[in-house]
A and B are shown apart, each in its own frame.
Chain A
Amino acid sequence: MRRLWISLTYVVITLLLVVPLYKIFTGAWAQGFDGFIEAIARPQSLHALKMTAIIVVTVTVINTFFGVMLSLYLVRATWLSRTIKRLSNSIVDLPFAVSPVIGGLMIVLLLGPNTIMGTFFNNIGVQIVYALPGMILATLFVTFPIMIREVMPVLQEIGDQQEQAASTLGAYSWYTFWKVTWPNIRFGVIYGVVLTVARSLGEFGAVLVVSGNIINKTQTATTLVYQDVENFNVVAANAIALVLAAFSIMLLLLMEWTKKRKGVH
């Protein structure tokens, strides 16, 4: 019985995870190393990778900051009533339930060219939809809950005794945060950062809707893969997919490392 279950697990993992990985790592070399380099060195590929990098960095920084602050407020703040805290706690999860396409649609509906806010921003010379700000907004929306879901449980678990002790001894809130709270939540935050990077790197639906997928302008790495496949340029798609997959593997290793640290504290 035991043998059977273990072999079945091996079969499922191989079919579902190992074979796809193998395929993506071999497929990119179908036309040799030159084919791979050629696909990556296309101007649209380089531009798309640059756009993805900008989005990943911006989104991770903003969401890490606001995520940690909001978790602190939702767990510790005395100036929020319990009902509001509980309600906000449920609202935080909503982006997980929203299809990325719908997330993108929300931003188009709110800030698109035909809306009041969109016209306002257009008049002051800032384009949001079909431009970088909209793509960043869409990714921010989609990745919003990740950090909070990692940090809040840790904050709840450690309790506020140490923090209270610190402030009784005369430490200011900023000092208390860095010396007492931060060392405890550190690996939770790092894990959240890794997950946020992974999700914003791979975000596709929301960005596709908001960006309009304009080549050399608003195209990201994932939407370029999509366009290459639509244009039957499989080798080029595979090259970009390989770059993305390589990053994912790195992130996966990082996830493992932080998970172990998180457990130890």
Chain B
Amino acid sequence: MNSLFRSRTWSYSFRSIVIIYFIGLIIIPIISIYTQSFSSGILNFWDNISDPLAWKAVFLTLKLAGIATITNILIGTMIGWVLVRYEFPGKSIINSLIDLPFALPTAVAGFIILLLLGPSSIMFEWFGLSLVFHEPAIVVAMVFVTFPFVIRGLQPLLEELDKSEEEAAYTLGSSKFRTFFQIIMPTMLPGILSGGMLAFSRGLAEFGAVVLIAGNIPGKTLVASVYIFGEIESNNPQGAAAVSVLLLTISFIILWFINKLSRGGNTL
């Protein structure tokens, strides 16, 4: 075995295979979607984007993902804080349950939300409230799918926070409120922000959990990923590619911000 791995040709071909795999699987497809959407000219691209259904879908997605992210930042910060700072019965079970949305298939998540909030659910029978096929249901789906991001971003930072800083602030007579916003908040903020941005970009991209419950009414509850799917199904790959490029560019910018943020955190 060793003699085989010592040979130079083997080692070079091994490297080449790994690099070619990386380029072929990741880089070429991403480049190809950009070239494809501009292949029949920029005017055609603009036509596809300026279709009112297309940009309405993109705006709706941005809006709903934004709402879901803010919701997640609020409840995620609270839960992250509770899980790090307090001891209480059931803590370790809750801590393991947090990752459930990552382990559960998104189509299953969408299906459960349909069962829980749909026309035959308790919610509907008791309150006459049909959330499914309306915007709130989409937000619920996005919140569920992106739930762990903020908590998992926040926890390590809170655990690292030096307690003596906080105690020093109290000793110097600072109020609880002031300590929280001047000592604890700056520590938590990078985690909250990067978790929030990850949640936002995941919300923008979400398809499985949303497609079953959105109702997909064009211009009203049709989100971008479902719009793209519809365009593919109706044999319009050009239109699908154009909206994809728009959505991808937004996501890439977010990703770039997250990278910058985490790199900034490391150098500190």
Contacts and interface: CB of A to CB of B under 8 A. Distances in A.
Interface of A: 2, 5-6, 8-10, 12-13, 16-21, 23-24, 27, 66, 69-70, 73, 77, 79, 88, 90-110, 112, 137, 140-141, 144, 172-175, 195, 198, 201-205, 208-209, 221-223, 225-226, 229, 234, 237-238, 241, 244-245, 248-249, 251-253, 255-256
Interface class of chain B by DSSP? helix
Contact of A95 (B26, B79, B114, B206): B26
B18 A245 contact: no
Contacts of B229: 101, 205, 208-209
Interface in B135-176: 143-144, 147
Given A8-B78, A24-B108, A174-B5, A99 B100 contact: no
Contacts of A103: 29
B99 A252 contact: yes
B30 A248 contact: no
8 contacts: A2-B86, A12-B75, A91-B27, A99-B248, A102-B205, A102-B244, A244-B104, A252-B100
Given A13-B79, A73-B18, A79-B15, A202 B25 contact: no
A93 B255 contact: yes
A234 B119 CA distance: 13
Contact of A99 (B32, B99, B111, B204): B204
A95 B22 CA distance: 12
Interface string B56-82: 000000000000000000010011011
A94 B26 contact: yes
A99 B115 contact: no
Given A9-B94, A21-B100, A101 B207 contact: yes
B225 interface: yes
Given A9-B79, A98-B205, A99-B207, A16 B143 contact: yes
Given A79-B15, A108-B232, A205-B208, A13 B248 contact: no
B211 A226 contact: yes
Interface in B222-265: 224-226, 228-229, 232, 237, 240-241, 244, 247-248, 251-252, 254-256, 259
Contact of B29 (A13, A17, A110, A195): A110
A105 B1 contact: no
B33 A106 contact: yes
A174 to B, nearest CB: 4
B127 interface: no
A92 B248 CA distance: 15
Contacts, number: 230
Given A97-B201, A256-B96, A172 B116 contact: no
B97 A99 contact: no
Contact of A241 (B94, B103, B108, B201): B108
Interface of B: 1-2, 5-6, 11, 14-15, 18-19, 21-22, 25-30, 32-33, 36, 75, 78-79, 81-83, 86, 88, 90, 94, 96-109, 111-116, 143-144, 147, 198, 201, 204-208, 211-212, 224-226, 228-229, 232, 237, 240-241, 244, 247-248, 251-252, 254-256, 259
A229 B33 contact: no
Given A93-B255, A105-B244, A172 B108 contact: no
A12 B148 CA distance: 13
B190 to A, nearest CB: 17
Contacts of A13: 79, 94, 97
A195 B102 CA distance: 8
B100 A201 contact: no
Contacts of B237: 105, 108-109, 112
Contacts of B79: 9, 12-13
